[in-house]
Amino acid sequence: MAQVGVKARQRQVFNSVFEKYAVSVSEPTPKSTPNTGFTAPGQPFGGFRGVGNQHLATRGLDYQPPSDTRSDSSRHVQDQVTWDRSWHVVTSWLSFQNEPFSPYGQEVHSAEKASPPVKYGTALLDVLTPETRLPYAAHHEDLVEWLSQNMRSHFFRTVQPWLENAVTGFSHEELLQRTLQVLVQAQNLYLDKVTEIEKTLSHRSSSLPESFKSGFDRDFQALVRKSVPESVWETVEWYVNLEIPIVLAVPRDVDGTRISPDKMEQEDARSRLLALAQALHNVGLGGEKFQIMFAEAMNTSMSSYVYGTYQRVWKDEPSPPNPAEVTKRRKSQHFRSSLVGPSSLSTEDEPLVPRVVNHSKPSRCVTDLCAWTENEYARLAVEVLSQLDSTEVAYSDLEKWKEMAIGRLASLRTSELFDIVVHWPNGGGAIDDLRTAITTPQRRLQLTEAFTVELKERLLHPGKSTLEILRTYIAMICSFHALDHSKVLLDRVAYPLQVYLCSREDTVRIIITGLLADKDVETGKPSNSNGDKLVELAYLLNSGVDSAQGPDDDMDWNDMEWVPDPVDAGPGYKRRKNVDIIGTLIGVLGSQDVFIKEFQSIIGDNLLKNDGDFDREVGPYEYLYLPD
């Protein structure tokens, strides 16, 4: 009941400021209007007119005395009296004050209403067009304004209590249903009057101005928006956030398993949501407030879909065949026809990714996400906004939505990047997603900053062994080379790790023992059953790839997507991966003297223990000549 008191205080404040609306709605003009008129020339001053003017009280509304017997002053009086009586006939018939209201029952107001008065049609024309029918009437009022004020008085006295009672003791669905039912019945009651006016005018070969109906509709919708309790808006928000994720096929977690709604469930939710949008629009609640709720729910659902569908999905595997995909594309083509503006979309089956990623080959996740954005997200937005008669959706909006979705995927992959690096090469698909999505300087900077924070918190601390840190560093080099061949991103994130490795006393020994690890006789690959050596270095060293490079070894003449070196590329750009990884690790150690002394000590021990085969010891020598 506190809400009722708040509404009452709001009306009191409103009435204190706008005194015009504080007064009660004026009652219709009395049937008999005393009229003394003006004193005609030669007549004594004062008293009532003679018998010659008694016809004003007895003749009908259409009576017009002969023009040659009327002076200008009497014409003013006659037209004004005629307008006043016409106003009385019209307002008496159109008044809402005695109209019963039953939102949950039959429309008793239409059953109990009698036929309009005989002179109602003529009186209505007098009121609506006094300039042409009664040109000498000096005073006349606006019927739309009077009807709106009469409606306002009836609404606060009769309809408002029903709205306040509908919000207590009911579930969300019942509250929303009862509120809409009350508003629809009230709207029908008020619009019946406008319909009746249109019908009456049509019988007299006239029409109601469009501004009349639009003005009355606008006043009713403003009244509804002002009067609806806040709990109704909370229920609308709850309902929208319930249905939109179902329509957009957002996965939900059921006992640890991601389950997406089936097509039937999606279409049922779509029908309910569109029906709600249409109902709210019809009663005036489909304006800015509802559109903001809808936009926020769509924004949240996009993030939920991206995280629910692509979280820890790192393998670049082709999507399974889906028989419903053809239907989706047909619907996509159908809804595209409702978009406005120039189109940047092709007529091919596969939807295009936005221009921001057109310079690179999009990954599977990015392609699938763009298809979802076009076939599900944009389609729902167009359908709901069309129910609200809102701003038309342009092709540029569709492209912006795709860019937003790709940005959400980039944020997800950025938060997962450390785990992707640790599990390399199992995260190749996720690296492809990042390469496709991280295309702006802002996103590149965000990626390096977020990864550096993760690196310091999860790796660069005493709880991690030097061997584990070096293995992570090798995975970083591989991952970031796949992500960005220019090494710009790697240089940004590797410096804290390099500094930390220099502080570990066993870094040099682990690197050298890794380079000199034993090979398996059968496979030719390094073997280390205990896992206490950095065998990854020995594998790279003995992989059979020539470490020497010719002048054009970094050129792939069969690569049709070749691009020139980036302007910020370092001197080692596009060096072979094995040389780059081993050379980078050796260069991390800083002073060459430290590495050489440790290398001499370890290789001397190996030579003394060796039986004459020195191939393992010869291989690492070339890296002693790598530049810093």
510-531 pLDDT per residue, tens: 888 887 776 554 444 555 545 6
Q: What percent of the chain has pLDDT over 90?
A: 18
- Looking at every residue in the chain, the average pLDDT score rounds to 74
pLDDT at 299: 95
Q: Which among 196, 227, 258 is the end of a domain?
A: 227
61-111 pLDDT per residue, tens: 454 555 444 566 788 888 888 888 888 888 888 888 777 777 665 554 444
Residue with more model confidence, 441 or 373: 373
Cβ atoms of 451 and 414 closer than 8 Å: yes
Q: How confident is the model at residue 543 (pLDDT cuts 50, 70, 90)?
A: low
Is 588 part of a structural domain of the chain? Answer: yes
Segments forming the whole domain that contains residue 365: 233-406
Cβ atoms of 443 and 437 closer than 8 Å: yes
251 and 152 part of one domain = no
Alpha carbon distance 385, 277 (integer Å): 9
Q: Packing angle between helix 263-282 and helix 172-203, nearest 10 degrees?
A: 50
pLDDT at 203: 79
Q: How confident is the model at residue 342 (pLDDT cuts 50, 70, 90)?
A: low
Q: Work out the number of other CB atoms within 10 angstroms of the CB of residue 247.
A: 26
218 and 244 part of one domain = no
Q: What is the mean pLDDT of residues 273-297?
A: 90
84 and 145 part of one domain = yes
pLDDT at 380: 93
Residue with more model confidence, 614 or 391: 391
Residue with more model confidence, 614 or 455: 455
User: What tokens does 250 get?
Assistant: 């957002």
Q: What is the mean pLDDT of residues 250-265?
A: 81
Choice among 71-75, 190-194, 295-299, 394-398 with the minimum mean pLDDT: 71-75
70 and 210 part of one domain = yes
219 and 238 part of one domain = no
604 and 516 part of one domain = yes
Within a 13 Å sphere around the CA of 499, how many CA atoms are in the beta-carbon half? Answer: 8
What is the phi/psi pair of residue 259, to 5°? Answer: -125, 130
247 and 212 part of one domain = no
Alpha carbon distance 55, 257 (integer Å): 89
pLDDT at 329: 47
CA 361 to chain centre: 27
485 and 394 part of one domain = no
Nearest CA to 244 out of 273, 211, 282, 279 is that of: 273
Choice among 388-392, 441-445, 454-458 with the minimum mean pLDDT: 388-392
Is 595 part of a structural domain of the chain? Answer: yes
Is 334 part of a structural domain of the chain? Answer: yes
Is 487 part of a structural domain of the chain? Answer: yes
Is 520 part of a structural domain of the chain? Answer: yes
Strand partners, 519: 526
Residue with more model confidence, 494 or 48: 494
Alpha helix positions (H), 283-377? 288-310, 325-336, 364-372
181 and 100 part of one domain = yes
Cβ atoms of 220 and 135 closer than 8 Å: no
Q: Which among 384, 406, 428 is the end of a domain?
A: 406
Residue with more model confidence, 590 or 183: 183
User: What tokens does 624 get?
Assistant: 């002693």
Is 42 part of a structural domain of the chain? Answer: no
Structural Rg of the chain based on CA atoms: 41
330 and 450 part of one domain = no
Tally of domains in the chain: 3
Helix (H) or strand (E) holding 364: helix 364-372
Q: Work out the number of other CB atoms within 10 angstroms of the CB of residue 401.
A: 20
Is 356 part of a structural domain of the chain? Answer: yes
Is 289 part of a structural domain of the chain? Answer: yes
Residue with more model confidence, 179 or 541: 179
pLDDT at 316: 66
Q: What is the mean pLDDT of residues 575-599?
A: 67
Q: For residue 244, is pLDDT > 90?
A: yes
239 and 180 part of one domain = no
475 and 613 part of one domain = yes
409-432 pLDDT per residue, tens: 999 999 999 999 999 888 888 998
The one-character DSSP state at 394 is B
SS3 259: strand
User: What tokens does 590 get?
Assistant: 């800083």
Cβ atoms of 273 and 247 closer than 8 Å: yes
pLDDT at 332: 52
Q: What percent of the chain has pLDDT over 70?
A: 65
pLDDT at 228: 85
205-232 pLDDT per residue, tens: 777 777 787 888 888 888 888 888 888 8
319-336 pLDDT per residue, tens: 544 444 444 544 555 556
pLDDT at 541: 67
DSSP 430-459: HHHHHHHH--SHHHHHHHHHHHHHHHHHHT
Which residues are within 8 A (CB) of 576 and not within 5 positions of it... i.e. 6 or more apart? 545, 547, 549, 553
Report the predicted TM-score, pTM, of the whole model to 2 decimal places: 0.74
Q: For residue 395, is pLDDT > 60?
A: yes
Q: For residue 358, is pLDDT > 60?
A: no
111-128 pLDDT per residue, tens: 455 677 778 888 888 888
Alpha carbon distance 369, 433 (integer Å): 11
4-56 pLDDT per residue, tens: 566 667 766 666 655 444 444 455 554 444 444 444 454 444 444 433 343 33
